[in-house]
Amino acid sequence: MSYKVNGRNLWALTVLCLLREGPMHPYQMQRLVRQRHKDRLLDLHRGSLYNTIARLARAGLIEAAGTGRDGRRPERTVYRLTAAGRARVTGWLRDLLSTPAAEPSSFLAAVAFIARLTPAEAAEALAARAAALEAEIASQGNALDEAAVAGHPVLSALDPAIVRVLLLDGAYLHAMRQAELAWVSSLLTELRSGSLSWDYEDITRQVRQASRQAADAEGDISTRQQTE
């Protein structure tokens, strides 16, 4: 059975990558995801884990490898990667790293319809976003600095080059937030100076007029083509 994987199957990617480390049961996967803060970075929903494991097993990408338990907890099925699963996760990661994708974004949707607000309303909302971004960037920076790493029970015992690899996702998110803050701040400057302004009713009127003119022009072209 085939199992289509794409950029939105984040639990599937996570399960395959975790099992690349070695066999483990679902509870251990959940625990590692929380410990490594991947649930925050990947927006993983816990209820999807067991469904994903079942689908990956049916597709032949993972398989049961026995049972195990943590302390007094009940026995749980331990899963491992199959040869097909190992090949799939390698190819999938290469595709995700190499191919830019248009990811859905609630912020992008809001920007697309920003004209429905007045410039003053947009500026107020964007100012709040900028403040939130500044706070998040400061928090992320603290989590990535040398002092934070030195105080971490696991990271502090690792080679710095390995720590760098393990924190790349956080570093990427930090860079993206900085870029977003720069863009939002630039837009705020335009709005506050008045160099960017609009009236939604005027926009609607002009768009409707331009649409009618375009339709009329298409009609004229079609008529000429039919008479030629």
**Percent of residues, the chain, with pLDDT higher than 90:** 55
Question: Which pair of tokens denotes residue 227?
Answer: 């008479």
pLDDT at 185: 98
Of 78 and 160, more confident? 78
State the Cα–Cα distance between residues 79 and 22, nearest whole angstrom: 9
User: How does residue 193 score in pLDDT terms, banded at 50, 70 and 90?
Assistant: very high
Within the chain, residue ranges assigned H as helices are: 10-19, 26-35, 38-42, 49-58, 83-98, 106-112, 119-144, 146-150, 160-166, 168-193, 200-227
Question: pLDDT > 70: what percent of the chain?
Answer: 87
**Which of 1.50.10.10, 1.10.10.10, 3.40.50.300, 1.20.1250.20 is the CATH number of 10-98?**
1.10.10.10
Other Cβ atoms closer than 10 A to 44: 19
In the three-class reduction of DSSP (H, G, I as helix; E, B as strand; rest coil), residue 124 is classed as helix
Looking at residue 1, its pLDDT comes to 45
Which pLDDT score is estimated for 158? 82
- In whole numbers, what is the pLDDT of the chain averaged over residues? 86
Q: What is the pLDDT of residues 54-63, one digit of tens each?
A: 999 999 999 9
- Of 76-85, 100-109, 138-147, the one with minimum mean pLDDT is 138-147
CA–CA gap between residue 171 and residue 131 (Å, rounded): 20
Find all residues with CB under 8 Å of 52, minimum gap 6, and list them: 9, 11, 12, 15
CA 191 centroid distance within chain: 28
- The pLDDT-based confidence of 8 (bands split at 50, 70, 90) is low
Give residue 224's pLDDT band: very low, low, confident or very high (50, 70, 90): low
Q: Where are the domain boundaries for CATH 1.10.10.10 in the chain? A: 10-98
pLDDT at position 6 is: 54
Confidence of residue 155 (pLDDT cuts 50, 70, 90): confident
